[in-house]
Every structure is written in C-alpha cells, then in structure tokens.
Chains A and B, each alone.
Chain A
Amino acid sequence: DGGITQSPKYLFRKEGQNVTLSCEQNLNHDAMYWYRQDPGQGLRLIYYSQIVNDFQKGDIAEGYSVSREKKESFPLTVTSAQKNPTAFYLCASRQDRGGNQPQHFGDGTRLSIL
C-alpha cells in the first residue's frame, strides 16, 4: 500500500534532549516537507526538500534540523534549542514535476515535553 509513514505516533522529550521524527514514503515522490501544527493555527513549514541531498528552511526552521540522504526518507530532528517543541508534526510529500500536484500527508507525530 503506497503512502507516507510517520513514526512514532507519540513522542516525549526531556529537557535538553534531541529527538528525531521519522518520515518514510514509498510513493517515489521527489519533494518532501515538514510542518508543525499548533492549536488554532494552520500548518507552518519547518523544512522542505525538493531533491536528495538538498533542503531549504521554511518559516520556522530555528531549533530543527533535517537530512535527505535517501529519496524515500526525510527525518526531522527537534533539537534542545527548540524551546517550545510541543506540537503535532506532519510530514508530506509531492511528485515534483513542476506542475500542479497536491501534497500528500502522513498521520503525524505528537511531541510532548516530559
């Protein structure tokens, strides 16, 4: 079954700890994205990658890092520098052929502070 898999579904972080959220897609999509969702707000873009070994900062990249070593994987690390990490994190992918294709989303990871 093709799709986007995010893991874990729930994650807890201790003070001063880095945590990594996994995102894997088997859709053969070129572009991948990470969003943060807070109550009462829309999705805010953290990082995105249009091709392997390349990525760009989104609107709220501070305190986060990513890598894109493989086409199907785009892990997000929430570092200790992110002082308010509690949120719902969504990964998305898109077939990037320069035309109009929608992004497809995983089912998210909810990160909380211990």
Chain B
Amino acid sequence: GESVGLHLPTLSVQEGDNSIINCAYSNSASDYFIWYKQESGKGPQFIIDIRSNMDKRQGQRVTVLLNKTVKHLSLQIAATQPGDSAVYFCAERGSGGNTPLVFGKGTRLSVIA
C-alpha cells in the first residue's frame, strides 16, 4: 500500500458524525487558502478554497473557516462517510497571484463504519 502519511496526525470519526480538520498556517500575508483530499495512490483533489477577505465558505457537505487573527484554518465535513477516508492537506499562498502554494503536512481522516 501507499507509504504516504506514515507519521501523520490521525483523526478517527464515526460514520455519520461531523469531522473537523485543523490547520495552522505560517504566513500572515497569505491571501488564498485551499483544502485538498488525497486518497491512497492518487494525486491531491481540490475540495474547497477561501480568500483572505472571507471567514467562512460552504460547499457540498464541507465548510472552511478562516481565522486570520490566529492564522488558523479548519475544514468541517458534515455526516462523514467511509469515502471521506483520506489524507487532507491545507495549502496557503502568499500575497501575489503567481506565488506558489505552500502545503501543510496533512491529517489522515479515518472513518469508522
């Protein structure tokens, strides 16, 4: 199997419960943030993004919250399903449209059926 994420923090959640995955970012000048989901053996898949002029954005079953005061980003997944099991990464981009993304180390979400 994949060896990606051997030593990642892990969040175990019961199926049907809500999940909250947290991320602390480093650059107070970052103006754009993204959450990605990575399943074993695949590339990261875009989930949701948020600009720094917002503090909340909702998608289908997911919500991203941004707290710029403490440089904290969270991803909330409602009614977690077995298919949500994966590694989740946050990414930030420093100010300026062409600055590459900087990725966090990731959190493994394990859904217990």
Residue numbers of A with Cβ under 8 A of B are 4, 6, 31, 33, 35, 37, 39-45, 48, 50, 58, 88, 90, 92, 96-100, 102-108
Contacts and interface: CB of A to CB of B under 8 A. Distances in A.
Contact of B100 (A4, A58, A99): A58
Nearest to A45: B100
A39 B5 contact: yes
Given A102-B34, A102-B46, A102-B49, A40 B6 contact: yes
Contacts of A6: 43
A51 to B, nearest CB: 10
Contacts of A4: 43
Nearest to A39: B6
B8 A40 contact: yes
B4 A39 contact: yes
B44 interface: yes
B101 interface: yes
A107 B89 contact: no
Contacts of B94: none
Contacts of A42: 89, 103-106
Contacts of B45: 105
A43 B44 CA distance: 10
Nearest to B89: A42
B100 A107 contact: no
Given A42-B103, A42-B104, A88 B4 contact: yes
Interface string B29-45: 00110101000011111
B49 A106 contact: no
A99 B101 contact: no
Contacts of A102: 34, 46, 49
Given A41-B105, A48-B100, A100-B31, 15 more contacts: A37-B4, A39-B3, A39-B4, A39-B7, A40-B5, A42-B89, A50-B98, A88-B4, A90-B43, A97-B97, A99-B97, A100-B49, A100-B97, A102-B49, A103-B101
